[in-house]
A and B are shown apart, each in its own frame.
Chain A
Amino acid sequence: MLITELSTLQEKLQTRFGDDITAAMIHADQLTIEIPSEKVLEICSALCDEADFQFNQLIDVCGVDYLSYGVSEWETESTTTTGFDRGVETGIEHKINWTKPRFAVVYHLLSTLQNQRLRVRAFLDENNLLIDSVIKIWPVANWFEREAFDLYGILFKGHPDLRRILTDYGFVGHPFRKDFPLSGHVEVRYDAEKKRVVYEPVDIEPRVLVPKVIRQDNRYQAPVPLPPKT
């Protein structure tokens, strides 16, 4: 979509919703707006129904956990005095300031009538993972919200059937949270003596194969003015 169309849409959104839009940005030719979680239902039904927007399709709903956003496993700056470590221990961390709440629900909307897309994000506090379900506006939200509940533990108020969807029957925990280990907590095997499948604690040691590295790349930064010569 053209940048001009996007900024028109952004203006329309901001005039219509005013302060309810806490942030709006255009990045990589895509428009994202952030809204307060308690206003989801109100704003989404307006986005779906009003002639200016007509977002008649909900393409995707997903949860995001920002717990380790900007945390790397391998320090690449300020290592001159200490030398590089092997990047296998997770003790060394530096953090980009993440001041917003830990969880978010992200909606991707599509209007087949006006041929435009919009991304809507609502942040959720860790202590209050409750948000209104949009299932009444877009019935497709049913399974998406079940998935977000299953993987992140986000509760959707008004969802008629909020069960787990992807994980095992009787699964404990929410596996896509950043503090849930990749190899999980339990493993299953067939026990020949008991003649049934048994659950046991995982015996795999979690390890990092390629450490996560965040590098400052000047090509992607805005040019920094040179310091004045003395």
Chain B
Amino acid sequence: MRLVLELDGEVVQRADPHIGLLHRATEKLAETKPFNQSIGYMDRLDYVSMMCNEHAYVMAIEKLLGIQAPIRAQYIRVMFDEITRILNHLMQLGANALDNGAMSMFLYCFREREDLMDCYEAVSGARMHATYYRPGGVYRDLPDFMPQYQPSKWHNKKQVHDMNKNRQGSLLDFIADFVEHFPKKIDEYETLLTDNRIWKQRTVDIGVIAPERALQLGFTGPMLRASGIAWDLRKTQPYAVYDKLEFDIPVGLNGDCYSRYLVRIEEMRQSNRIVKQCIEWLRKNPGPVMLAEHKVTPPSREIMKSDMEAMIHHFKLFTEGYCVPEGEVYAAVEHPKGEFGIYLISDGANKPYRLKIRAPSFVHLSSLDEMTRGHMIADVVASLSSIDVVFGEVDR
């Protein structure tokens, strides 16, 4: 981004963000590819909350096809959505603190992010760009083992043994261990920031947006909730299995940077709660994670060796893809940054006719001007990082 500021001394008169420097025309690229080949592009939109983006895209296709993922796949999706939310908020918290001059927060947050990225890696093979959700379910079931650290120049056998201690069981065991310890880590973050005099001086009453104004400016997600409006798609328009889970929606009081910080901290605790419930359910309920509808999902490799029809399905799926019935659909998820929506128009072909990505950061960034007018330059940094903007999705 290039931010053009008009100043009077050190006071901001007008802020004009020039965006588009990361514009890759994802929406146009998607129009030239079969549906499944664009899932990977979704990861690259908001590259710190990858699986949530995939979720919206996959939901849009499923709605048009009139199919629904198996219940176990939906629980897995919700669990990973919440892991992603924690990932995103940790990144935001670390970067926000770093922008305001608190270096150590960044290091602490990235320590925990590392564990969660290992979960990504265990389940999909990639640490960031997972391409794990597919129309009709998820790519594969949760693995029974975790990748292990190997001894190296930097870590001897003894150290590696300790590092691998919580990686002896399945992925679920590893996540269970993480959610057990994570609330204490959040307490640690709060000890560093919540009552910190400098932190409060930098964030309280900075970039205030009133509730009515927040609605007019199209705010969603934590930005809207920090302004005092309890609106969360997971509660108001539940998708996947959110209606079966227990969690609360934190709401801020003042709509300033400090409220946004508090809301996100509490959201991490709630996500932790959701992940816990998902683990419990997933342990008890084995089952398929992908529909057996082979017009859309690939048949298993084993069956393909002996079954002609499975072979044909596989060939057609990977050379041509599947055709999606004519129509249009808008699917939205409660993304860590706000409402992330996919508007999909299909003309009955194997590629989307038009794909529009409704990115929350894009909307939030457009209010930067209003948020920073009359503030000092240093407050622009505080406001900008409190928006939680990622340019992968602003520029698309």
Binding site for B on A (CB under 8 A): 1, 27-30, 32, 56-60, 62, 64-65, 69-70, 72, 96, 106, 108, 112, 115, 117, 119, 138-140, 142-143, 164-168, 175-176, 182, 208-210, 212-215, 217, 220
Segment 312-345 of B: residues with Cβ below 8 Å from A: 319-321, 323, 325, 327-330, 332, 339, 341, 343, 345
Q: Could you tell me the distance in whole angstroms from the C-beta of B147 to the nearest C-beta in chain A?
A: 33
CA distance A213 to B366 in the complex (A): 38
Whether B329 and A142, one on each chain, are in contact in the complex, defined by CB atoms closer than 8 angstroms, is no
Question: Is residue B298 contacting chain A, with contact meaning CB distance below 8 A?
Answer: no
Residue interface bits B14-38, CB-to-A below 8 A is 1, else 0? 0000011001010111001110010
Whether A28 contacts B237 in the complex (CB less than 8 A), given A57-B215, A57-B218, A212-B349, comes out as no
Whether B28 and A28, one on each chain, are in contact in the complex, defined by CB atoms closer than 8 angstroms, is no
CA distance A13 to B33 in the complex (A): 37
Contacts of B353 in A (CB 8 A): 69
CA distance A208 to B354 in the complex (A): 17
Whether A176 and B34, one on each chain, are in contact in the complex, defined by CB atoms closer than 8 angstroms, is no
Whether A70 and B25, one on each chain, are in contact in the complex, defined by CB atoms closer than 8 angstroms, is no
Whether A166 and B323, one on each chain, are in contact in the complex, defined by CB atoms closer than 8 angstroms, is no
Question: Is residue B362 contacting chain A, with contact meaning CB distance below 8 A?
Answer: yes
Question: Is residue B229 contacting chain A, with contact meaning CB distance below 8 A?
Answer: yes
Whether A106 contacts B362 in the complex (CB less than 8 A), given A62-B356, A176-B27, A213-B349, comes out as no
CA distance A142 to B218 in the complex (A): 11
Q: Could you tell me the distance in whole angstroms from the C-beta of B103 to the nearest C-beta in chain A?
A: 33
Whether B329 and A112, one on each chain, are in contact in the complex, defined by CB atoms closer than 8 angstroms, is no
Whether A220 and B328, one on each chain, are in contact in the complex, defined by CB atoms closer than 8 angstroms, is no
Given contacts A57-B218, A69-B353, 18 further A-B pairs with CB under 8 A are A28-B66, A28-B327, A29-B63, A56-B216, A58-B218, A59-B358, A60-B330, A60-B358, A69-B347, A117-B330, A138-B216, A166-B20, A210-B34, A210-B350, A212-B351, A215-B323, A215-B348, A220-B325
Contacts of A119 in B (CB 8 A): 328, 330
Q: Could you tell me the distance in whole angstroms from the C-beta of A156 to the nearest C-beta in chain B?
A: 15
Interface SS of chain A: loop
Contacts of B366 in A (CB 8 A): 140, 142-143
Total interface residues in chain B, CB < 8 Å = 51
Whether B343 and A62, one on each chain, are in contact in the complex, defined by CB atoms closer than 8 angstroms, is yes
Question: Is residue B217 contacting chain A, with contact meaning CB distance below 8 A?
Answer: yes
User: Which residue of A59, A65, A210, A217 contacts B33 across the interface (Cβ within 8 Å)?
Assistant: A210
Q: Could you tell me the distance in whole angstroms from the C-beta of B354 to the nearest C-beta in chain A?
A: 5
User: Which residue of A62, A175, A209 contacts B25 across the interface (Cβ within 8 Å)?
Assistant: A175
Whether B330 and A166, one on each chain, are in contact in the complex, defined by CB atoms closer than 8 angstroms, is no
User: Which residue of A1, A30, A70 contacts B348 across the interface (Cβ within 8 Å)?
Assistant: A70
CA distance A217 to B320 in the complex (A): 15
CA distance A28 to B349 in the complex (A): 18
Question: Is residue B363 contacting chain A, with contact meaning CB distance below 8 A?
Answer: yes
Whether A182 and B229, one on each chain, are in contact in the complex, defined by CB atoms closer than 8 angstroms, is no
CA distance A176 to B28 in the complex (A): 6
Contacts of B231 in A (CB 8 A): 112
